[in-house]
Amino acid sequence: MSPLRADIQSNILKIRTEMKNSPIKYEYLEEMVAHQISTKQHTGPNTSTQALLWLNRALSVMSTFLRKLVSSDSATKYDTGASFVLAYDEMLAKHHNWMVQRLFKIGLKMVPLYSAFKQNMIDKRCWEAAQQSGDPDWEDQIEKKMIGHAREYCGHMASVASQIRQMYKTHNIDP
């Protein structure tokens, strides 16, 4: 997941740099996008408008992945690889050419198994405290907590991503 993380961080840096260094002090991301559109500075790979578009796509993939991974009605519940493939196909593949799609599918083979993913998602101190609690169901309890946090994140992220997608559709940027 390192390439995805690097891409997300790069897009965040572009947006933060624009927000910080622009002579116009934007209070909201929408103001930045509207200004860049009005001045026709919104196209190209190095614009913060494009960075926000790709950041939103990446975060939508992550949110969809988590939802598919932990939802009780998901056909790919607890299957990290299958959940990520479905999330990628649903949210991002249409924006990539065939070569990038192939590379992405190859990279998906490195997605950790659910057990490793779960352990990485839970804070080490929380994991150790639960383990030492003496509760025979400590692992189930901590997994339920992680799933609850994942579901909460998915709900909030889906709402934010939807608002950003709507803004781009309003400006006729994201097909």
All domains in the chain, ordered by first residue: 2-170 (1.10.3520.10)
Local structure of 74: helix, strand or coil: coil
pLDDT for the residue 45:
81
Please, what's the b/e burial string for 26-46 (b: 16 or more CB within 10 A of its CB; e: otherwise)? beebeebbbbbbeeeebeeee
pLDDT for the residue 82:
92
Name the pTM for this structure: 0.83
**How far is residue 38's CA from residue 167's CA, in Å, rounded to a whole number?**
14
The amino acid present at 83, given as its one-letter code, is S
- Predicted confidence pLDDT, tens digits, the chain (175 residues): 677 788 889 999 999 999 998 888 888 899 999 999 999 989 888 899 999 999 999 889 989 999 999 998 999 999 999 999 999 999 888 988 888 888 877 887 788 899 888 888 888 888 888 888 888 998 898 889 889 999 999 999 989 999 999 999 998 887 5
**How far is residue 119's CA from residue 128's CA, in Å, rounded to a whole number?**
11
pLDDT for the residue 15:
94
